[in-house]
Amino acid sequence: PLISGCGTFTFLFSAIAAISGLLMGYELGLISGALLQMSSILTLSCKEQEVIVSSLLFGALFASLTGGFLIDRFGRRLAIIIASSLLVLGSLILLPYESYEVLIVGRIAIGISISLSSIATCVYIAEIAPQHRRGLLVSLNELMIVIGILFAYISNYAFASISHGWKYMFGLVIPLGALQAVAMYFLPPSPRFLVMKNDDEAARKVLERLRETSDATKELTVIKSSLKDEHQYSFLDLFRSKNNMRARMLVGLTLVFFVQTTGQPNILFYASTVLKSVGFQSNEAASLASTGVGVVKVVSTVPATFFVDQVGSKTFLCIGSSVMAISLVTMGLVNRNIHVNSTKVCRSQSPEDFSLQRPGNFTVTNGSLKDLFASMASTERLSFDVQSPDVARTGELNRTALAGGKSTTGSHVESVEVPVVLKWLSLASLLVYVAAFSIGLGPMSWLVLSEIFPGGIRGRAMALTSSMNWGINLLISLTFLTVTELIGLSWVCFIYTIMSLASLAFVIMFIPETKGCSLEQISMELAKQKYVRTPLCGVSQRREKLVPVELDKREKEQLY
């Protein structure tokens, strides 16, 4: 079985914690469909739609800046409980009222919730998982996120034509969030957190239950000795050279930087706009893009999740980055040959297009727009915590989509009939690109981040990288349309290709291969100065053979 060597309790607890991922994916994917209805009911201007969408990002950014202290101080489990309760609260605020202000408050609460829960969940799962199954269990969270996005699409479709359907969309998460909060209450805190709080006896009991053994002294000793060394870390030590903390922090931040700048969030925004302009007309294109992309994300995250412990996260990161580069080059070349009229699509955000948004005209385009949106905003999701640039931009996209709908029927269709081969090649390269991201940078970057920091400061370190994530997210999503307008879509693809190749080089040189090592071993290895100069990959191959020996030696030293 896939979960051999991982006790029933461990798997169950990880699965309950990973419900956070499901809720997060759902909330990120949801807004695309809900916004269509809300904007016509509340007659929102483009600016207001943008604010509603990015309010979630601001909530998330705020939580990722403050959440780390909460997680290290009060525990990972409690943070998850608080987050689910906030989600329920935020969703409840949204339901009874139909007002712009209330929507913003509710979305900010939801943003805080998903950001906090995503950090806490990754740390919690990494700390309860046995070392040889940690990759599988942490990636479970990413898998749930992707499934959440797919559910969001489905509910967008299901409730699109129902009056006040958006209330059902927002309401669906309430029972699940409440269920998770209750279930987490009955779960044990993570053993490493208990040791941090000097409650060794409780930690031993939790470990025995998780590992299903009668004696967990050995693992407890290792955790205690490593936490003893780590307890003296303060937040500022993340930026000092002590134990290579600065180098580790830079590795974490750079990884997050590449997750955002290889373009996944934005290319997906434009999935249907791009496909439309390369000759897929209206509904066919948009529904293909949204559902296709959603399914591809789920399908490609599955092998990554189940085989990460055998193959190793570094290998997946390398495969993902190389395949992304190849598919982006293809996409760029295809778009050059087709002469995508992207400048037109972007410019059509002028005020006069706004008349299109009167509820009267709205219904006419609702079908195709709904699909268009589903693909744009939802597919987003960077990994674990971040992907929602989609979000900040949905307001602009709304204009683009409305206007884009107009211009495709007008100019593109008459002007040029795209060769069938190029049309399908464009779709194929987009899907391959999405798949490559979902195997590599998607799940693996968060796994690496949950491993490379020492336990005493892991929550704060993750929170810092996570806030970088939300921050870049906001920034990139605010500039994407302008950039595309200036240089054209194919050049955007080429820039992303360069970023993908850069991330490949970075992974090969600086990311340690951590499969099969305990969190304590990883921390000890990374604390050695030479890590900065010689990447861990060489060390780790040799270490595979040394692990049992080293551990025995170390344990003996600790016992005497």
173 and 97 share one domain: yes
pLDDT score, position 271: 61
Write a three-state SS string for 362-389.
HHHHHHHHHHHHHHHHHCCCCCCCCCCH
Instruction: Determine if the pTM surpasses 0.85.
Output: no
Residue 457 has pLDDT above 90, yes or no: no
Question: Looking at the predicted structure, is the pLDDT value of residue 560 above 50?
Answer: no
Is residue 248 located within the same domain as residue 179? no
pLDDT range class, residue 346, cuts 50, 70, 90: very low
pLDDT at 316 over 90: yes
Out of 354-363, 365-374, 496-505, 515-524, least confident range: 354-363
311: in domain:
yes
57, part of any domain: yes
* pLDDT score recorded for residue 540: 41
pLDDT digits (tens, 9 = 90+) for 498-557: 999 999 999 999 888 888 888 888 888 888 755 544 444 444 443 333 333 333 444 334
Q: Identify the domain containing residue 95 by its residue range.
A: 1-187
Query: What's the mean pLDDT in 184-196?
Result: 90
Angle at 397 between CA 391 and CA 398, to 5 degrees: 105
pLDDT interval class at 343 (50, 70, 90): very low
Tens of pLDDT, residue by residue over 85-134, are 999 999 998 888 778 888 889 989 999 998 999 889 988 998 898 888 88
Mean pLDDT of 490-501: 91
Q: What pLDDT is attached to residue 290?
A: 66
Average of pLDDT values for 240-255? 87
Show the DSSP H helices in 374-488 as ranges. Answer: 389-407, 413-415, 420-439, 441-452, 458-487
Do 32 and 163 share a structural domain?
yes
**pLDDT of 428 over the 60 cut:** yes
d(C-alpha 102, C-alpha 371), whole Å: 27
Question: Does residue 165 share a domain with residue 88?
Answer: yes
Question: 154 and 48 in one domain?
Answer: yes
- 154, 187, 220 - which closes a domain: 187
What does the pLDDT read at residue 274? 62
What's the pLDDT at 305?
Answer: 86
- Residue 310 maps to a domain: yes
Domain presence at residue 549: no
Question: Does some domain include residue 105?
Answer: yes
* Average pLDDT in the chain: 75
Mean pLDDT within 164-192 = 91
What per-residue confidence (pLDDT) applies to 358?
31
Judgement on whether residues 30 and 174 belong to the same structural domain of the protein: yes
pLDDT tens track for 212-238? 877 788 888 888 887 776 666 778 888
Above 60 in pLDDT, residue 404?
A: no
Say what the pLDDT of residue 280 is.
62
- The number of domains in the chain is 2
The whole-number pLDDT of residue 555 equals 39
CATH number where 460 lies: 1.20.1250.20
> Bigger pLDDT: 324 or 56?
324
255 in the same domain as 173: no
CA distance 79 to 74: 7
pLDDT at 149: 84
Hey, which of 271-275, 392-396, 489-493 has the most confident mean pLDDT? 489-493
Q: What is the chain's length?
A: 560
Q: 558 lies in a domain? A: no
Q: Which of 187, 217, 252 is the last residue of a domain?
A: 187
**Across 342-346, 448-452, 529-533, least confident range:** 342-346
Q: Residue 406: its pLDDT value, please? A: 35
pLDDT band, residue 418 (cuts 50/70/90): low
Q: Which residue has the tokens 């030590």?
A: 237
378 inside domain: no
Q: Is the pLDDT of residue 377 over 50?
A: no
Q: pLDDT grade, residue 315 (50/70/90)?
A: very high
Cβ burial of 389 (10 Å; 0-12, 13-18, 19+) is buried
- Long-range contact pairs involving 543-549 (C-beta distance under 8 Å, separation at least 24): 543/517, 544/516, 547/516, 547/517, 547/521
Residues 11 and 109 grouped into a single domain = yes
Asked if residue 294 and residue 440 are part of one domain, the reply reads yes
Residue 225 lies in a domain: no
| DSSP of 192-244 | HHHHHTT-HHHHHHHHHHHHT-S--HHHHHHHHHHHHHHTT--GGGGGS-GGG
Are 253 and 179 contained in the same domain? Answer: no
Residue 56 shares a structural domain with residue 132: yes
* 254 and 150 share one domain: no
Confidence of residue 340 (pLDDT cuts 50, 70, 90): low
Q: How far is CA 137 from CA 11, 90, 213, 313, in A?
A: 7, 28, 20, 13
Sign of CA dihedral 522, 525, 529, 535: negative
